[in-house]
């Protein structure tokens, strides 16, 4: 499995500089953060995106995914306001266009959070309407859409992968899957290795980070309490061939180079440990 890094921790750097530093840290790919100053809604024109995509290829970095800046702000795909929901859908569709130009295979989306007084059923239905339009637009561009379950502070609709599967089933969309963040699964009490098996071919992407089991901290893998070995072993056993993306928190933006190198080293050590256990079992 190849390892990528979300460019978010380099938000104090232009995207071109972030690409250089992520490559220097030894990553195979990058998840492009669709926020400023990297690739926010229509900030970059076609020529600029083409140059950045070429730079990424020259550095040996695959664009693993495109992540529009979201989670409670500036979008809400389940908003009871037609104006807000419409703008949110258009915002993600702008992200689809950017993803296609960058050469990313998928775009991740967040479920959104209902407002006070809004029934969950209403939020669920509005989310489905939004995803239907987004996935239709993505299909025309040859892209997949990955819904990210999250903890209660970020969404009250899709906290677990089981709920994400329900969204997929209710929608009937064939290019809608899941980006599995092990940190979110840990906080909500899921066993991530079991979730991998449950998702099957709807597991489109994986985010790696760590926490204390109580709050979503997005720590460097190994700095929290999550057990990565059985999780990575499950991914290997299930034939997952996508990227493992280290997605680190705001706290690392002051010294992103050190954090980037540490996360890459840790994840590769875990992968080596998994492979080592397989080799030992065969003897």
What are the sequence ranges of the domains in the chain? Answer: 3-282
Tell me if 220 sits within 8 A of 195, measured CB to CB: no
Q: Give 90-137 pLDDT, tens digit per residue.
A: 999 999 999 999 999 999 999 999 999 999 999 999 999 999 999 999
Q: Give 60-98 pLDDT, tens digit per residue.
A: 999 999 999 998 788 999 999 999 999 999 999 999 999
> Angle at which helices 82-102 and 46-58 pack, to 10 degrees?
50
CATH homologous superfamily of 3-282 equals Divalent-metal-dependent TIM barrel enzymes (3.20.20.150)
- pTM here? 0.95
């Amino acid at each position: 499995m190849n390892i990528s890094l979300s460019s978010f921790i380099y938000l104090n750097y232009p995207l071109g500089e972030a690409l250089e530093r992520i490559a220097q840290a030894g990553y195979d790919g990058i998840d492009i953060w669709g926020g400023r100053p990297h690739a926010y809604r229509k900030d970059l024109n076609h020529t600029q995106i083409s140059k950045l995509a070429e730079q990424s290829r020259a550095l040996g970095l695959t664009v693993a995914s495109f992540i529009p800046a979201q989670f409670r702000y500036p979008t809400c795909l389940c908003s009871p306001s037609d104006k807000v929901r419409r703008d949110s859908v258009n915002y993600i569709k702008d992200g689809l266009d950017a993803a296609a130009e960058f050469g990313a295979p998928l775009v991740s989306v967040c479920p959104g959070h209902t407002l006070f007084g809004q029934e969950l059923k209403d939020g669920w239905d509005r989310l489905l309407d939004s995803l239907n339009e987004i996935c239709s637009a993505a299909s025309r561009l040859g892209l997949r859409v990955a819904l990210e379950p999250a903890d209660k502070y970020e969404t009250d609709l899709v906290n677990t992968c089981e709920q994400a599967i329900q969204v997929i089933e209710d929608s009937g969309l064939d290019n809608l899957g899941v980006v599995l963040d092990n940190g979110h699964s840990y906080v909500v009490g899921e066993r991530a290795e079991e979730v991998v098996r449950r998702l099957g071919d709807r597991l489109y992407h994986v985010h790696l980070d760590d926490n204390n089991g109580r709050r979503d901290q997005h720590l460097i893998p190994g700095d929290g309490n999550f057990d990565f070995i059985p999780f990575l072993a499950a991914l290997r056993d299930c034939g997952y061939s996508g990227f493992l993306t280290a997605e680190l928190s705001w706290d690392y933006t002051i010294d992103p180079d050190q954090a980037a190198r540490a996360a890459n080293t840790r994840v590769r050590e875990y992968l080596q440990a998994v492979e080592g256990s397989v080799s030992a079992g065969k003897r």
